[in-house]
Amino acid sequence: MTTEPETLLTRVKKLLRWSYYRLFRARYDALRWYCYRLFRARYYALALRRCYNVAELLRSPAHRAKRLIIFLAPGKEFISGGILSIFNLYRFSRAMEAIHGAQVVMCYYPYEARTASRYVMFDNDVTIYPFEMVMATCRNASHVLMHIPEYAVEDILNRIGWDSLWRLRAERNLRANILNQNALLMPRPQSVARLREVIGDLTCTAAFPRFVTVEQRRYWNVPLHFLPAWTRPDDGDPTPYETKRNLMIVSPDSHPQREAVLRFVRETFPDMEIRVIKDLRFEEYLKLEEVAKWSLTFGEGLDGYFAGVVLRGGVGFAVFNETFFPEEYRSLQTVYPDYPTLLRRIWEDMRSLDNKESLEAYSAKVRSLLAENWGPQKTRAALAAFYREEYTLP
């Protein structure tokens, strides 16, 4: 059998195939080596962190505690009013040992591997442990109370597993409290009903008085307790008009009317500084809050963007949301029934309020409404009542 002689074209094709293979293989080997080293580095870092966490937990009073209170936090760090509120509830609970007789710990959601044991986007000294590590290490705890964020209830129950829940209920007298900080994110009623079958003394705390009603008590069939959210490190005194900048803080929430409203504000007030809050440390945000005259929220309405600026002596603008706002806020000058009304009236309202006497008087009026339900002392008092099982609607 004869072989055809190799032509120049055939040789070039072979050379190109060989060159492509060598180039691709070299890159593939480099990528595989990098991924391997990265995985090993992460594995060792995680192992070292877990060893440190265990040693720290063994030195803490929680190791030998008969009673534990656990606050659950997500492994992926982000700043929200709900997260800041949970950290304050943790802080307040630690100071109430004389009332509940328990040690208080913060845990990541079950089976979330994370090398960091702290949140870093706001100042705090809270160590966050893996949930399964705490349950394995604190074996003396015969009474365990879990505070679960409302939006994560179903996910956390699936992570733990229903069989494990029954076992924890039997061995550790496990109790659970749903932290309802946003009624729109509550779990499905059938999930709450199933959890109640395991944990008969299931409870739910609500950050807004609108949720704590007889109708809601019947609907969820669990005791409800009003536990006002507090997201700030302190009271934060109001600052006078003359120290403020023509600055409007804007919430990052999405909304169909968002761009139209912001475009109108920019065109109507070209000299105003508009700052959308995103990827900012909480302490930096608080500095802006202190000097801002205005805030505009596209979120729940009665949220930290609205209330925070008001507490520092400014004015918040929002659209009335029946889920969160108490009825008495409906008549406020800067709380509008809908976005078309906001677009029609915001220009005139900002003009009329942009002087020392009007702005300070109106801000004080809204602060007095906020003070009826919200403040660090009210949160502490409501939390103490919860631990004494003095529920708003038992």
- What tens digit of pLDDT does each residue of 321-346 get? 998 999 999 999 999 999 999 999 99
Identify whether residues 245 and 266 lie together within a single domain: yes
pLDDT at res. 14:
61
- CA–CA distance, 309 with 320 (Å, rounded to integer): 17
Identify whether residues 221 and 262 lie together within a single domain: no
Identify whether residues 254 and 225 lie together within a single domain: no
In a 13 Å sphere around the CA of 342, the CA atoms on its Cβ side amount to: 22
**26 within some domain:** no
Identify whether residues 343 and 381 lie together within a single domain: no
Q: At 212, phi and psi to the nearest 5? A: -95, 80
Identify whether residues 137 and 188 lie together within a single domain: yes
* Mean pLDDT, rounded, of the chain: 87
For the beta carbon of residue 59, count every other beta carbon within 10 angstroms: 9
pLDDT at res. 98:
96
Find the domain containing 144 and state its range: 55-231+377-387
pLDDT tops 60 at residue 359: yes
Per-residue CA distances from 311 to 113, 304, 315, 349, 360 (Å): 38, 10, 9, 19, 11
**325 within some domain:** yes
**24 within some domain:** no
pLDDT at res. 2:
46
Identify whether residues 216 and 321 lie together within a single domain: no
pLDDT at res. 3:
47
- Token digits of residue 261: 């409203």
Identify whether residues 63 and 207 lie together within a single domain: yes
Identify whether residues 210 and 265 lie together within a single domain: no
**184 within some domain:** yes
Q: Indicate which CATH number applies to the domain containing 323.
A: 3.40.50.2000
Among the listed ranges 24-28, 80-84, 217-221, which one has the minimum average pLDDT value?
Answer: 24-28
Please give the average per-residue pLDDT across 168-197, as a whole number. 95
Please give the average per-residue pLDDT across 7-15, as a whole number. 61
- What tens digit of pLDDT does each residue of 12-56 get? 556 556 555 444 544 444 445 445 444 555 555 555 566 666 667
**338 within some domain:** yes
pLDDT band of residue 79 (cuts 50, 70, 90) is confident
Identify whether residues 265 and 223 lie together within a single domain: no
Identify whether residues 77 and 216 lie together within a single domain: yes
- What tens digit of pLDDT does each residue of 272-297 get? 999 999 889 999 999 999 999 999 99
- CA–CA distance, 88 with 104 (Å, rounded to integer): 12
**20 within some domain:** no
Predicted structure pTM score: 0.84
Question: Among residues of the chain, what percentage have pLDDT more than 70?
Answer: 85
Q: How many domains does the chain have?
A: 2
Q: Which single residue is written with the structure tokens 């038992």?
A: 394
Identify whether residues 118 and 206 lie together within a single domain: yes
Task: Look at 221 and 42; give whichever has higher pLDDT.
Answer: 221
pLDDT band of residue 372 (cuts 50, 70, 90) is very high
Among the listed ranges 52-56, 149-153, 187-191, 243-247, which one has the minimum average pLDDT value?
Answer: 52-56
Identify whether residues 182 and 322 lie together within a single domain: no
Q: Indicate which CATH number applies to the domain containing 115.
A: 3.40.50
**141 within some domain:** yes
